[in-house]
Amino acid sequence: MGESGDIDEIWRRAEGGAVAILDCREEIPCDPCEAVCARGAIVVGKNVCDLPRYDPGLCNGCGRCVAICPGMAIYLLDRSSRDGGARLTLPYEMKEEIKAGDEVWALDEDGSPLGKGKVVKTAKMNKRDHSLLVTVDVPEEWALKVRGVRIRVMSIGEPLEVRGCQREEDHLLCRCEEISRSQAREYAAMGFNSLRALRRFSRVGLGYCQGRFCQAMLVDEFSTAAFRDREGVGVFKVRPPVRPVKLGRLGGENG
Amino acid sequence: MDLRVGRHAVLGEMEGGKLVTIYVDGVPLKAREGEPIAAALYAHGIRTTRYSPRLGEPRGPFCMIGRCTECAMTVDGEPNVRTCMTAVRDGMRVDTPGRPGE
């Protein structure tokens, strides 16, 4: 773990109570963890893109950094319980409610389930916070592998849901021709056998952006509505130029 | 109120171009030379860049990288110019296309 603290020391200290583990790997301009740590255990320093330097010896396991990290890259490890398990406190930002007593799936960093864990308590650092801190008991061998929890019923091996937004709110899919998602669905259900056929009929993807913006969403929507796989739906033929260019410019005009 | 970023966390001090005048629907506005037209409009609180042709709804800059075409305006008489990708020059005339009633 290098600058994020010696993992052996963290492991040892966790026997006495909660201690933070930083799994921050992205050198991005981000330093709320430094500002929020009252003990000065986390230092990003002058270059805001540096990875945080962390001294586990100063950490009191308060969990403020867990709640504030936008990348959800910090969690608490507590090995003080006598039954030999590990007690983790993880940030949780999904909509499905989690409460103490719930059985949840413990997920690894890829989002794949390791197995089940039991929620001991949930807390928010302050009311306006969007991060819920979920404290969960898991077997010790997962202590350094778990990166999140999931409440939804799911069997191990089930593929994770790919589509993010499942709400039925309507919105524009093709912004240029002003065709909404519900309209695109209606068109798709009319029996066209390819996205190109749908385009000829409805004008989706024929506006100024030429499908640059909407194509991925259209493929997704059409394949769902028409019960076809994405390959069967096909894509628009890509023709140069890849970005809008004035015809006059191709003809030698300047500007 | 000027919404421009004066000091950027990564890029440091931002030196703005010199102040020039552009005409938005005929109204003179101060803008920084070289900044995207959409940024200049945004700094003046202008959020509507065009009205959609079919529904007549107001639209504003959306993707900011020249793909979605929501920020397309008429610049110096040339239609469909993506203002998020086009730099401000002194004396530019920028017009909002598709205003209802026109």
Q: Is the model's pLDDT at A223 over the cut of 60?
A: yes
Instruction: Select from A154, A151, A181 the least CA-distant residue to A165.
Output: A181
Residues A85 and A201 in one domain: no
Distance from CA of B43 to the nearest CA of A (A): 24
Could you tell me if A130 and A178 lie in one domain? no
Q: What is the mean pLDDT of chain A?
A: 84
Q: Which of A54-68, A79-93, A209-223 has the lowest mean pLDDT?
A: A209-223
pLDDT for the residue numbered A255: 57
Model pTM score: 0.50
- pLDDT at position A35 is 94
Residues of chain A contacting residue B59, judged by C-beta atoms under 8 Å apart: 175
Chain A and chain B share a number of CB contacts under 8 A equal to 32
Given B52, B62, B67, which is nearest A212 (Cβ)?
B67
Does residue A130 fall inside a structural domain? yes
Going by pLDDT thresholds of 50, 70 and 90, the confidence category of residue A155 is very low
Tell me, yes or no, whether A63 and A145 share the same domain.
yes
Q: Does residue B59 lie within any of the structural domains?
A: yes
Are residues A213 and B67, on separate chains, in Cβ contact within 8 Å? yes
For residue B3, CA distances in Å to A48, A101, B14, B30 come to 22, 48, 13, 13
The whole-angstrom separation of Cα A153 and Cα A102 is 12
Q: Is B31 domain-assigned?
A: no
pLDDT of residue B102: 58
List all residues of chain A from 160 to 189 with a beta carbon under 8 Å from chain B.
Answer: 175-178
The verdict on A139 and A217 lying in the same domain is: no
Q: Is residue A82 part of a domain?
A: yes
**Is B66 within the bounds of a domain?**
yes
In a domain, B64, yes or no: yes
Q: Could you tell me if residue A45 is inside a domain?
A: yes
A11 with A113, same domain: the answer is yes
pLDDT tens per residue, range A109-134: 888 888 889 999 999 988 888 889 99
Enter the DSSP assignment of B62.
Answer: -
Q: What is the CATH number of the domain that holds B63?
A: 3.10.20
Give the number of other CB atoms < 10 A from CB of residue A118. Answer: 16
Residues of chain A with C-beta less than 8 angstroms from the C-beta of B67: 209, 212-213
Same structural domain for residues A110 and A206? no
- Do A9 and A115 lie in one domain? The reply is yes
B63 vs A contacts (CB less than 8 Å): 213
Q: How far is B80 from chain A (nearest CA, A)?
A: 8
In a domain, B92, yes or no: yes
Average pLDDT of the segment spanning A219-244: 77
Is B96's pLDDT higher than 80? yes
Residues A26-35 have a mean pLDDT of 92
pLDDT of residue A36: 94
**Containing domain of residue A128, as a range?**
2-150
Q: What is the pLDDT of residue A157?
A: 47
Task: Please report whether residue B61 resides in a domain.
Answer: yes
Domain of B93? Answer: 40-102
Helix (H, G, I), strand (E, B) or coil at B41: helix
ipTM at complex level: 0.75
B4 pLDDT tier (thresholds 50, 70, 90): confident
How does residue A86 score in pLDDT terms, banded at 50, 70 and 90? very high
Nearest to A29 among B9, B59, B67 (CB): B9
Is residue A61 very low, low, confident or very high in pLDDT (cuts 50, 70, 90)? very high
Domain count, chain A: 2
Q: How many CA atoms lie within 13 A of B20 on its CB side?
A: 20
